[in-house]
Structure 1
């Protein structure tokens, strides 16, 4: 039951009952109702900030875990980029330098990422900056790996060519060590038969008739026949501008167009053609120019043996 309120009337010196208007009554009820609604609303907002649903908590954990893995991948990409940079440096300064190939310019390694904003579709997200940087690093790394892969393919091809070249260049004695004596070297001398001063373009190795003669490098036989000057002679084209000549043979063991390997038997020492005694006349040519054969025995001779052979070749007399 509602309480009855009174007020003191000074005119009548008595208490009178306070009459409550209906409008005031309804106004009080309305204000009370609005107050309850506001308290409930703000209370719910504050409570929701503290208490989240299980699904919201799971989503939040998933986002934090995703961000952590993005950062981890970004770190690994930086490490991979550093390793690739070291490989690029060795590629330019060691591998390509060794095979006499031009280094790959830095612009070529990192080209293709300017101009149009290719990452516009990644904008507008909470972590757009992280995602864009990660995607860009992946693109750059992928581009550099493609360039480096092509470079390594080229180096492999160069190495294969270098290996073929090293196997083809004349590098051993045409007669085994201990089985010969140097009669004449690469120098001006008096021809023993023609009796004219003539430059001797090769080296003469005296050895018993029938001593085996070997190819000094890989190549193809282009001439295997008898001539008036060289007698039984073999020419081998080694590629890369190199050619060797083996003259005055007693017998030829190869035919024209035969492929030979370094160390293969091609004939035997003889005394055919313009020759005064059994010996092998041996020449080395590069791009059509006769070179001193003594510089092409590094596969057989020690430094001491080379010095002895060089001294002997300068003092001896030609046999052809």
Structure 2
């Protein structure tokens, strides 16, 4: 029972009962209910955002997130193992297969190149385990790219293996002048004294002295690219494109026995020793190119001389004497 309240009427000198309006009572009730509901809602929000109030669905989701994080860690360990295996394959590819087939190794920069442009992993950001997911996805992408590069490389190696016979035939592997026709190996690859100026300069080929008219042989299979006197100082000369990055040059010839565009085999006679151009005496000046760079021809005589002969010619070639051109 609600309390009855009174007030003192000073005019009538008497206590009178205070009458509460029904509308005001209703307002108090509504205000109480609204404030109670608002307070209850705030308490509810606080509870659902704490670990003390978890629904069964929240617990399932938490277990799923924990399982996913564990799976990502396991995946990273598998990626470590895959990287080790791939690195071993890449090492064999560069240091065994590509060396065997005389082809350029794939650079580390090309193999390990990342991805430029826009942020590929924007959708993975903003989560509790974003860093783990983003790093794992990056590793998978990079590993996938490396596998594609390695797969293409192995396809190239397979193609080279199928062409091995052609490759071996194309490599300039014999002396351009037979030993029995040689007077001597006059000058080798390296710094030599110029016969005309007497200045020490680099000699990019090997000089074989022989009588004028001595046959000159193609040192590998290929196509005659030039047979003319267009290069200054070389006189009559021949250039043969062997393919696989190889090219040979034969200079100071007395005459030709081939023509541009002609396909030749290793051991075919292509011309004869002479002393045309910038030459001091009859000899053959011989150069070998690999991928556009001059290399020492001495490294390619394994197809025509014995080990003993190779040692002897190597000693002569390495003497810092005077060249003939």
For 1:304, the equivalent position in structure 2 comes to 308
**Whole-angstrom distance in 2 between the partners of 1:184 and 1:98:** 33
**Whole-angstrom distance in 1 between the partners of 2:324 and 2:160:** 42
CA displacement, residues 20-53 of structure 1 (integer Å, 9 cap, x when unaligned): xxxxxxxxxxxxxxxxxxxxxxxxxxxxxxxxxx
**Whole-angstrom distance in 2 between the partners of 1:285 and 1:176:** 21
Q: Is residue 2:224 matched to residue 1:221?
A: yes
Offset of residue 160 of structure 1: 3.1
For 2:293, the equivalent position in structure 1 comes to 289
For 1:121, the equivalent position in structure 2 comes to none
**Whole-angstrom distance in 2 between the partners of 1:195 and 1:296:** 29
Offset of residue 154 of structure 1: 9.0
**Whole-angstrom distance in 2 between the partners of 1:221 and 1:154:** 27
Q: Secondary structure at the match of 2:312?
A: helix
CA displacement, residues 152-186 of structure 1 (integer Å, 9 cap, x when unaligned): x9987543311111000100000112211100000
Gap regions ≥5 residues in structure 2: 1-88, 102-154
Equivalent position to 2:263, from 259, 265, 282: 259
Offset of residue 299 of structure 1: 0.3
- Structure 1 consecutive aligned stretches of length 4 or more whose deviation exceeds 6 Å: 153-156
Residues 274, 283 of structure 2: 8 Å contact kept:
yes
Matches of residues 1-320 of structure 1 in structure 2 within 5 Å?
157-180=159-182, 181-227=184-230, 228-315=232-319, 316-320=321-325
Residues 183, 206 of structure 1: 8 Å contact kept:
yes
For 1:128, the equivalent position in structure 2 comes to none
CA-based RMSD? 2.7
Q: Secondary structure at the match of 2:236?
A: strand
Q: Taking structure 2 as the reference length, what is the TM-score of the superposition?
A: 0.51
Offset of residue 195 of structure 1: 3.2
**Whole-angstrom distance in 2 between the partners of 1:194 and 1:277:** 16
Residues 194, 322 of structure 2: 8 Å contact kept:
no
Residues 99, 162 of structure 1: 8 Å contact kept:
no
Q: Secondary structure at the match of 1:237?
A: strand
Offset of residue 287 of structure 1: 0.8
Report the CA distance shift for 1:205/1:99 in structure 2 as closer, same or farther (over 3 A): same
Q: Taking structure 1 as the reference length, what is the TM-score of the superposition?
A: 0.51
